[in-house]
Structure 1
């Protein structure tokens, strides 16, 4: 009976020891709360010993977290634009106590509320088509800046990393008109390209014709009677060097080849 009692005491002691020990793993922090008051020491990893009767250890992740939302955002012209949003944030390890004291463990709902307010204010300054164009990055940046200001008023310790408008669904009528406009712009750009090509080709032909005309003029200006006589003498020399017999009729200035002996033989 005494042995059983000792075993029970040892078991209870073991359970008590295990229940008074918390393990903080990498990527999270642990903070001890005693009688409702948070400790100043934040444990980044390792073991925390505490009295489970009056204390508890709260563990929070310090990794980058993603809040996904699907909202209808207002536009400047009064339209509602459906959007899928991601809010990336993380807790600063040394300021977890401040976040828990001011916002509690449900701080994500506060981040969501701050986003809704900031997004409504910012998106109302832009047209719906801007959310579907290159203006999206500017909208995301302005929402993030406004969120940072509002979050810092409520708690210091939440680091907002990015606001991403991942999927924008415009009203059907507006989407169709934007597509038609884009198609018209593409057609105009294509026509401009064709006209530019035709203009360049016409310029090339004009330049080529001017070059041929100038070449002919230069040749015509250089063909004096003396040049023609020199060319005739050079032609006679070339004919004289030829091994074939040829019949040449000339006035002494320019040769005219009637035929050669090979042609005469072939005709016979």
Structure 2
């Protein structure tokens, strides 16, 4: 095998070096990500320019690009806290968050890649304990779930102000009480429900009794009016009208006019 010309060897070496440099200089940023540029021999972290966007980039081989997830992320965090009367409460929370895109360089410079552990988790724990401490176990278990969720979100947002983290939502998924307290609350709620149901039945019974009373009074009043209006002459007239109707019937009968009491007709039939 013939030796390579002396002029070819430096060229091959140069190509290899160029490939290595390009490999170290090429940076690909994926979908939903952004890059923070660190300039080794100048100002360090670039904070006065927007972060590097998705796609392919060429940077100087002595510089570094730190890639961050910029889409909304979820953090599940169980938190133990004390209620207003000192009982141990456990709440399971979900936090929806993302870094502030325009301040990604400042976030990296001040907090670093571990900003979730350094800032977000301590903030959500502190806010949750503060909020839970305002309520009794019964309130936390039943009626105040939405309220504490909103308050934890507000308190956490205050703690994250100026920290370059965008908090989107805080969800309280579950509240766990000591078993004895939970059983006592459930018994109380059950008794309250039974009392409400009994009260409802009483109201229905009272309403039905009132309806029957009004109906009876109405009927009695109608009978009084009818009795007052039925004079002897009206009764005689009604009797005569009924007699005339009966006389039209094909059944055999004998009608004696004026032979009854008060001159009312007497009807003699074949029955």
Normalised-by-shorter TM-score class: 0.7 to 0.9
Question: Aligned-pair distance for 1:132?
Answer: 1.5
Q: Which residue of 2 aligns with 1:147?
A: 156
Show CA shifts across 1:100-153 (max 9, x none): 111111000121012222222222222122221231222222222222222225
Q: Which residue of 2 aligns with 1:266?
A: none
Q: Is the 8 A contact 1:26 1:44 kept in 2?
A: no
Q: Is the 8 A contact 1:30 1:60 kept in 2?
A: yes
Q: Which residue of 2 aligns with 1:46?
A: 55
Show CA shifts across 1:30-67 (max 9, x none): 12111171222312322221112x21111111111111
1:254 is aligned to 2:264: yes
Q: Which residue of 2 aligns with 1:193?
A: 200
Q: Is the 8 A contact 2:33 2:67 kept in 1?
A: yes
TM-score (norm 2): 0.87
TM-score (norm 1): 0.88
Show CA shifts across 1:53-105 (max 9, x none): x2111111111111111221111111111221112111121111111111111
Q: Is the 8 A contact 2:80 2:129 kept in 1?
A: no
- Of 90, 101, 105, the match for 2:109: 101
- Of 232, 245, 250, the match for 1:238: 245
> Unpaired runs of 5+ in structure 2?
none
Distance 1:237 1:56, change over 3 A: same
Distance 1:234 1:4, change over 3 A: farther
Q: Which residue of 2 aligns with 1:31?
A: 36
- Of 79, 98, 117, the match for 2:87: 79
Q: Is the 8 A contact 2:127 2:155 kept in 1?
A: yes
1:127 is aligned to 2:136: yes
Instruction: Give the Cα separation in 1 of the matches to 2:52 and 2:247.
Output: 111
Give secondary structure in 1 for the equivalent of 2:160: helix
Instruction: Give the Cα separation in 1 of the matches to 2:24 and 2:254.
Output: 127
Instruction: Give the Cα separation in 2 of the matches to 1:259 and 1:200.
Output: 52
More deviation, 179-188/134-143: 134-143
Q: Which residue of 1 aligns with 2:126?
A: 117
Give secondary structure in 2 for the equivalent of 1:41: coil
Q: Is the 8 A contact 2:36 2:108 kept in 1?
A: no
Q: Which residue of 2 aligns with 1:66?
A: 74
- Of 218, 240, 264, the match for 1:211: 218
More deviation, 224-233/4-13: 4-13
> Unpaired runs of 5+ in structure 1?
264-268
Give secondary structure in 2 for the equivalent of 1:31: strand
The CA RMSD measured in Å over matched residues stands at: 2.1
Instruction: Give the Cα separation in 1 of the matches to 2:204 and 2:158.
Output: 54
Give secondary structure in 2 for the equivalent of 1:180: helix
Give secondary structure in 2 for the equivalent of 1:204: helix
- Of 89, 100, 104, the match for 2:97: 89
More deviation, 173-182/133-142: 133-142
Q: Which residue of 2 aligns with 1:158?
A: 165
Question: Aligned-pair distance for 1:16?
Answer: 2.6
More deviation, 42-51/180-189: 42-51
Provide the aligned length of Structure 1 versus Structure 2.
Answer: 258
